[in-house]
Amino acid sequence: MTTLFDSLKLGDLTLPNRLVMAPLTRMRSRQPGNIPHSLNATYYAQRATAGLIVSEATQVSQQGQGYPATPGIHTAEQTAGWRLVTDAVHQAGGRIFLQLWHVGRISHTSHQPDGGLPVAPSAITPSGGTFSADWKQVAFETPRALELDEIPGIVEDFRHGAQNAKDAGFDGVEVHGANGYLLDQFLQDGSNQRGDSYGGSIENRARLLLEIVDAAIEIWGAGRVGVRLSPFGTFNDMHDSDPIALFTYVLQQLSVRGVAYVHLIEPRSSAAGSMDKVIEDAPDTAQLFRQAFTGTLISAGGYTADSAKLAVADGQADAIAFGRLFIANPDLVERVRAGAALNAYDRATFYGGDKKGYTDYPSLAKSV
């Protein structure tokens, strides 16, 4: 029977265990330029016993930023800042992928390089709001639909981010195709009503994601590229008329490409960062799509140590990603192994701030 503590071949890497640290936006790259710094390096290095760390979502362009103080991977200074993080994680014996991100319509004019509107596949306003560059809660604006001739530039931004991630010393990249951000907006027909080769049929809606995955593979090789998807997720006002057909197609295409892994988010904790909206009768995504993807599958979303053990033992997933438990437990791997109690997380310090709720959660050795 497979356990969380069996090693796992994941693309070109061998993970020492199957507990993955999920990508977690913490909005703590506060200095001008959205540059990671030594506090971020400490935070990630504290969690280096994870089988794999996936970094917080990291914008590939200024246009792709949607919240204040999220880090980027489009400037030389950001790349150098990330080098502090990768060096610290590697020195602590860990492995770390960078999550490549463009928020699309989940932005605000205050984040845009030219003060223009956020971009999207179609000019459809999502419900809800976000934080402006000066940390005020603002309603979403109606985005501007990307022109067809702008789309190659988006692919190039991801390619550039993938190259910078390599230069920064990461072990690979995860393409963020989940949670209602730009690539998910293209995938799902609730947000994509284009009439060109990037809208309409499932093949057309999946085109941008797959072009970006191919660009990342050109730089990294397929064995160091993962993809995150959230079928049935409703966060950021997402919906699709036929999610099973859509995501089955996408997973088949990713199987053909032989990517290192696919990372699926269970909709039972659909609301990603806020987690307030739990769909009781949501389908079990890992189970539903296990056959559609032939490679390594990471499952995330509301796992406890016990449910994670079961999912891996049953073969529903090859590894389990933990979000909130890794925020509060830098030594989550050791605690689960020992059957020790877990620290509770403090939701008030998830986003923004400094050390508090970031690098000051105690590990077992220190808490006894």
Between β-strands 319-322 and 297-300, what pairing exists: parallel, antiparallel or unpaired? parallel
Residue 145 or 185: the one with the smaller Cβ distance to ligand FMN is: 185
Beta bridge mates, 263: 228, 298
Catalytic residue annotation: 181
Kindly state whether residue 251 participates in binding ligand FMN, applying the rule CB under 6 A: no
Q: How far apart are CA 323 and CA 22, in angstroms?
A: 5
Which of 1-9, 23-31, 124-132, 202-210 is the region at the interface with ligand FMN (rule: CB under 6 A)? Answer: 23-31
Q: Over the range 240-277, which residues count as b (16 or more CB within 10 Å of their CB) and which as e?
A: beebeebbbbbbebbeeeebbbbbbbbbbbbbbbebee
Kindly state whether residue 322 participates in binding ligand FMN, applying the rule CB under 6 A: yes
Q: Smallest Cα–Cα separation from 267: which of 178, 183, 350, 177? A: 178
Determine contact, residues 145/90, Cβ cutoff 8 Å: no
Binding mask 27-56 for ligand FMN (x = CB under 6 A): -----------------------------x
Residue 100 or 215: the one with the smaller Cβ distance to ligand FMN is: 100
Return the amino acid letter for 228: R
Residue 18 or 176: the one with the smaller Cβ distance to ligand FMN is: 176
Determine the residue with CB nearest ligand FMN.
Answer: 323
Secondary structure of residue 232 in the 3-state scheme:
coil
Binding test (CB under 6 A) with ligand FMN, winner from 154, 178, 259, 297: 178
CB of 149 to ligand FMN, least distance (A): 29
Binding mask 266-305 for ligand FMN (x = CB under 6 A): ---x--xx--------------------------xxxx--
Total residues binding ligand FMN (CB under 6 A): 24
Q: How far apart are CA 126 and CA 118, in angstroms?
A: 12
Which of 17-25, 106-114, 148-156, 290-298 is the region at the interface with ligand FMN (rule: CB under 6 A)? Answer: 17-25
Binding mask 334-363 for ligand FMN (x = CB under 6 A): ----------------x-------------
Residue 145 or 178: the one with the smaller Cβ distance to ligand FMN is: 178
CB of 67 to ligand FMN, least distance (A): 9
Binding test (CB under 6 A) with ligand FMN, winner from 226, 323, 330, 357: 323
Task: From residue 175, give the alpha-carbon distance in Å to each of 149, 242, 281.
Answer: 22, 22, 28
CB of 269 to ligand FMN, least distance (A): 5
Beta bridge mates, 321: 20, 300
Binding test (CB under 6 A) with ligand FMN, winner from 15, 19, 24, 286: 24
Residue 145 or 300: the one with the smaller Cβ distance to ligand FMN is: 300
Q: What is the CA radius of gyration of the chain?
A: 19
* One-character DSSP codes across 45-97: HHTTTSSEEEEEEEESSSTT--STT--BSSSHHHHHHHHHHHHHHHHTT--EE
Q: How far apart are CA 22 and CA 319, in angstroms?
A: 11
Count of Cβ atoms closer than 10 Å to residue 31 Cβ: 11
Determine contact, residues 254/292, Cβ cutoff 8 Å: no
CB of 368 to ligand FMN, least distance (A): 25
Interface residues with ligand FMN (CB under 6 A) are 22-25, 56-57, 99, 176, 178-179, 228, 265, 269, 272-273, 300-303, 322-325, 350
